[in-house]
Structure 1
């Protein structure tokens, strides 16, 4: 029910948020990761509770319809995990809790109704974006610098969630084709350093030495920075694009489910690429190291 392999996609949200805020991860970042894990698992448990009747017809092997877990226990677990996530966010500081509260509300709203509406993918994308912002808020105390990274991660999540709406019954090639286009766009963006005042800063123009300008200059000049961004962006593209392409050619339920799984796994190299783009290569490599672990556990437990 808790889908362990998908958990490896969670820590990178807070770490990428800290990287986007241009600060090193701290103990408050660890608290934000703990809060993210709890809220993510709360969503997993609540999702199974909300889908118990649908799963009984389409996926009777799932924990609730098979009788391995009682519906009341799943709902109680979702509530307890939500409270634990908010408590950890509060320990990380008021800015983190300010982001965690709407994140928890979005998770519950999605599972209890929004996912069956056109707003479902947008809600899921918002939840991922908020999760990244919580890492920035916990570590730095503000979220402004992390907004571009949150928007890019949200775009990826929007694409994956749109494809996932057809994973049990199949559908048209439009959703995986749109996801392919989103993947190409994100790959192109993450390959480049942050745009903006940094372009002028590298030319030595006066009056442009802002923190973002300094970051852009550093990410251009640091040895291996461009190569790392390119490698991680390429890893993201190959992880996501191939199953999307297969689902576009044949949008059957099995290939659509593989596309969703590939999109979820691609979240990790995307988080790593965003961190490298923000000038945090060590954080980027640490996030990327979670990928093989997720792949290993995915062989035993489905990621979707």
Structure 2
């Protein structure tokens, strides 16, 4: 491997690029839940989400560099492939870029993006290792969906969100947040394993989210087209992705199986986003999101998403 290729590989590991396909669906599901068609605001929200997501990844490794040196010395920072200052600089630059992209979608979107960025930094710099860690990460993911809803529902001329749009997206944001809470709770055991309760609790949350996502959204108008069945078809697809891995981690709570369960939970985000979009009456968006699943699987074979 050449020096340039090795450096690119190190940054891909630091930024966990294999998890990136799980990000655009937040904004697209948010737009669907808000009753808005994807447009320029949605694209700005996707760009902002990608930047803030990667900012969080770089900041996470910078904050955990001492812990990783003892427990995961192969990571880019403790192995010396990337310097701590470079990781911190990248995180700051990506945060600034994310906020700038959100600003292009209007002041309401920038407000949500600022709250999201604050939540990400608070998680990485302190709350991650506290009991509030999973709830904080869940909040970040819910805010990411609301960013898409707000940016998509904002009228460019007035720079204000259309009334009721982002509010309509709250149920979808809560479901996505619940899923993220479960994945984050399990991830706290991926280094040492040893937990049976947490994967079982995460499995229960996953099944509850799948049931909720299988029906039409409260704000959706009655739909008798064949595509109205799509949420009930996609919800089991979402649940099947992490359920088996979580059950394995509960029966044999080793670090390796727990890490696999976390990876499955991250990949399951995409079919959940698709189910939420279909639930809100946007089957086209739902089917388009499913196209990201093969990309996520292919990238996960090359770079770990955890």
Q: Same fold (TM over 0.5)?
A: yes
Please list, as runs of the form range in 1=range in 2, the aligned pairs for 1:1-304 lying within 5 A after superposition: 1-140=14-153, 141=161, 142-195=165-218, 212=219, 215-218=220-223, 221-226=224-229, 228-304=230-306
Looking at structure 2, the residues matched to 216 and 28 of structure 1 have their Cα atoms a distance apart, in angstroms, of 24
Alignment deviations for residues 162-197 of structure 1 (CA, whole Å, 9 cap, x no partner): 0000000112211100111011111111111124xx
Looking at structure 2, the residues matched to 95 and 222 of structure 1 have their Cα atoms a distance apart, in angstroms, of 34
Looking at structure 2, the residues matched to 191 and 125 of structure 1 have their Cα atoms a distance apart, in angstroms, of 21
The normalised TM-score by structure 1 is: 0.92
Does the residue aligned with 1:299 lie in a helix, a strand or coil? helix
Looking at structure 1, the residues matched to 147 and 238 of structure 2 have their Cα atoms a distance apart, in angstroms, of 23
Alignment deviations for residues 248-278 of structure 1 (CA, whole Å, 9 cap, x no partner): 1011100000010000000000000000000
Looking at structure 2, the residues matched to 275 and 240 of structure 1 have their Cα atoms a distance apart, in angstroms, of 20
Contact 2:227 2:283 in 1 (8 A): no
- 5+ long unaligned stretches in structure 2: 1-13, 154-160
Looking at structure 2, the residues matched to 243 and 86 of structure 1 have their Cα atoms a distance apart, in angstroms, of 36
Does the residue aligned with 2:82 lie in a helix, a strand or coil? coil
Looking at structure 2, the residues matched to 33 and 121 of structure 1 have their Cα atoms a distance apart, in angstroms, of 23
Looking at structure 1, the residues matched to 255 and 54 of structure 2 have their Cα atoms a distance apart, in angstroms, of 25
Looking at structure 2, the residues matched to 64 and 28 of structure 1 have their Cα atoms a distance apart, in angstroms, of 35
Residues matched between the structures, number: 283
Alignment deviations for residues 52-99 of structure 1 (CA, whole Å, 9 cap, x no partner): 111111111110011110100000000000000000000111111010
State the Cα RMSD in Å.
0.8
Looking at structure 1, the residues matched to 221 and 40 of structure 2 have their Cα atoms a distance apart, in angstroms, of 27
Does the residue aligned with 1:262 lie in a helix, a strand or coil? helix
Does the residue aligned with 2:15 lie in a helix, a strand or coil? coil
- Note the C-alpha offset of 1:223: 1.9
- Note the C-alpha offset of 1:28: 0.9
Which 4+ stretches in 1 moved above 6 angstroms? none
Looking at structure 1, the residues matched to 295 and 195 of structure 2 have their Cα atoms a distance apart, in angstroms, of 32
- Note the C-alpha offset of 1:216: 3.1
Does the residue aligned with 1:5 lie in a helix, a strand or coil? helix
- Note the C-alpha offset of 1:232: 1.2
- Note the C-alpha offset of 1:26: 0.2
141-150 or 255-264, larger mean C-alpha shift: 141-150
Looking at structure 1, the residues matched to 231 and 170 of structure 2 have their Cα atoms a distance apart, in angstroms, of 19
